[in-house]
Structure 1
Amino acid sequence: MNWSLPSATLDLSPHAPGLIMGILNVTPDSFSDGGAHVGIDAALAHAREMLTAGAGIIDVGGESTRPGAAEVETNEEIARTAPVVAALRAELPSSTLLSIDTRKAAVAEAALAAGADIVNDVSGLTHDPRMLEVCAQSNAGIVIMHMQGSPESMQDAPRYDDVVAEVRAFFQQQLKTCEAAGITADRIVFDPGIGFGKAHEHNLRLLAHLDTLAPANRPILLGVSRKSVIARILGDTDLSKRLWPTVALTSHARRQNVLIHRVHDVQENHHALRMTEAILSAR
């Protein structure tokens, strides 16, 4: 259960401390914090805050993938993200792990050259034909997420016969594809893609079976922070009311051996991880 990255090998076995991946959106239109961290100074300030609050990874994204979002032109996405990654690498402690959240090979390539350690692809390496090659030629960690459709249309009418089995089968196929391209399994973690081409019942089924999804005993990353599945259950679309349900999901997922949690609110979720782990270790 190790995750091999360019500058570190992370222990992601069930008894290891979980990791918080702090979300750093440098977009004007992300669903929760669009425009809040645009510009290098604002991005650096927020990254420092997240590290102080307990983040182990900073995930930089330059394209909103909320339902209905239009695709950002490649050069624009590079202009948004590569300078921020370079500034983070230059300014933050060398132990800071940096991730690029993109489905485009050229964006990943530019971010890796700027110092990123991880490629986090919401399409699971399926959107851009060159992404597999770019990842294979690097030694970066890779997050393979499941998404049915594309952000523009993924929530129109998602359908599955068995969402748990189909997500698991996608992960198994992508692991085989990566290994055939020379990407070893120890570089890969998997994300079930809550809210990405899933109806409400699909999200809940996946959340109930997180510990059954990953092939080859690989780690799971969960990104459910502030998502609409919470609003559906609460019957309230107020974003400010999604913090504590996200914290509850972090604790629930940690009990299913989810070791990486991608969140907006770092400190609260970091505390939930440590409390849950203290209870698990006392068994």
Structure 2
Amino acid sequence: MEFGIATFVTDEGIRPGPLGRALEERGFDSVFLAEHSHIPTSRETPYPGGGDMPRVYYRTLDPFVALTAMAGTTTRLLLGTGIALLPQRDVIHTAKQTASLDLLSEGRLLFGVGAGWNREEMRNHGVDPRTRGPLMTEQLRTLKELWTRDEAEFHGDHLDVERSFCWPKPVRSPHPPIYLGGESEAALNRLAEVGDGWLPRGHTSFEEIRRVRADLADRGKPDIPTTVFAARPDPETVAGYADAGVERVTFLLPTRPESETLEKLDEFSQVAEKFR
């Protein structure tokens, strides 16, 4: 089993370059960065965790800029989005950003994506929350075309991209692995259709992970790579995920200044060391 970190990189915490270096020095194999473009102050959509919205949600750095900074201070660390809110993104710009990061990092991108939950945030991007799922499926199909074909095109119900050149191409062949976030039936159907890996959240039970993995195997995706996002950093929890066939567990790193961050990473590393 591998171990990574999930976190919000903001202007108030450790900078991404030193964070990446610290993760690699402590043997973590990956980092997954959250994304929110902005948070409308109307706050119509309740925060899923209950209570007030944490300030990290509206202070996140752009994940591709932050991951590029991490690429410059590391050589092995896998660079993940956890998650990129794909329906809110222009698909052509996203194809170029992802491929550029994969090229500059020599093939280390893990592309975690999700449909999002903040409805007013989506609407500000011109996205109808009711159709964000089908839109994202078409976006992923379009990305694969733009990543892998010299002359790419896509024609669907939500997207229409004429035959085009789009470079650079990713280093990873055939393309960076796409990890689908979410545990809903729609998310799991999308995973079976267009995903390469699953990114369930840390509250997902061991039994549910076994059930989903068995169902995916029946649908032609046996042994699908599974990374748990923001699991509790305790040995019992980690052991349960290992028994369920999880390939990687990430611990949620609070957004803090550098010295406090390094102390917390040392704590997480001690948990991971029991399973290495």
Same fold at TM > 0.5: yes
TM range (shorter): 0.5 to 0.7
Q: Determine the structure 2 residue equivalent to 1:47.
A: 20
Kindly indicate whether residue 173 of structure 2 is the aligned counterpart of residue 192 of structure 1: no
Structure 1: runs of 5+ lacking an equivalent: 1-17, 29-34, 149-165, 179-184, 196-202, 227-242, 278-283
Counterpart Cα distance in 2 of 1:220 and 1:141? 12
Deviation of residue 67 (structure 1)? 3.6
Deviation of residue 50 (structure 1)? 1.4
1:144 to 172, 180, 191: 180
Task: Calculate percent identity across the aligned residue pairs.
Answer: 10
Shift in CA distance, 212/176, structure 1 to aligned 2, threshold 3 Å? closer
Counterpart Cα distance in 1 of 2:143 and 2:4? 20
Structure 2: runs of 5+ lacking an equivalent: 40-46, 103-107, 117-131, 148-174, 254-263
Question: Map of 1:10-89 to 2, 5 A cutoff?
Answer: 18-27=1-10, 35-37=12-14, 42-63=15-36, 67=49, 80-89=62-71
2:193 to 177, 181, 192: 177
Counterpart Cα distance in 1 of 2:183 and 2:212? 14
Deviation of residue 176 (structure 1)? 4.2
Shift in CA distance, 192/47, structure 1 to aligned 2, threshold 3 Å? same
- Across the aligned residues of Structure 1 and Structure 2, the Cα RMSD in angstroms comes to 3.7
Q: Deviations over 1:110-144 (max 9, x none)?
A: 24423361111133993853531354233011111
Residues 100 and 108, structure 1, Cα contact 8 Å, conserved in 2: no
Equivalenced residues, count? 191
2:78 to 88, 97, 113: 97
Deviation of residue 247 (structure 1)? 4.1
Q: Determine the structure 2 residue equivalent to 1:225.
A: 231
Q: Deviations over 1:37-56 (max 9, x none)?
A: 3xxxx111122111111211
TM-score calculated relative to the size of structure 1: 0.54
Residues 123 and 147, structure 1, Cα contact 8 Å, conserved in 2: no
Shift in CA distance, 51/275, structure 1 to aligned 2, threshold 3 Å? same
Shift in CA distance, 128/260, structure 1 to aligned 2, threshold 3 Å? farther
Residues 206 and 244, structure 2, Cα contact 8 Å, conserved in 1: no
TM-score calculated relative to the size of structure 2: 0.55
Secondary structure of the residue aligned to 2:62 is: helix
Shift in CA distance, 147/271, structure 1 to aligned 2, threshold 3 Å? same
Q: Determine the structure 1 residue equivalent to 2:101.
A: 114
Q: Which letter maps to 1:251? A: A
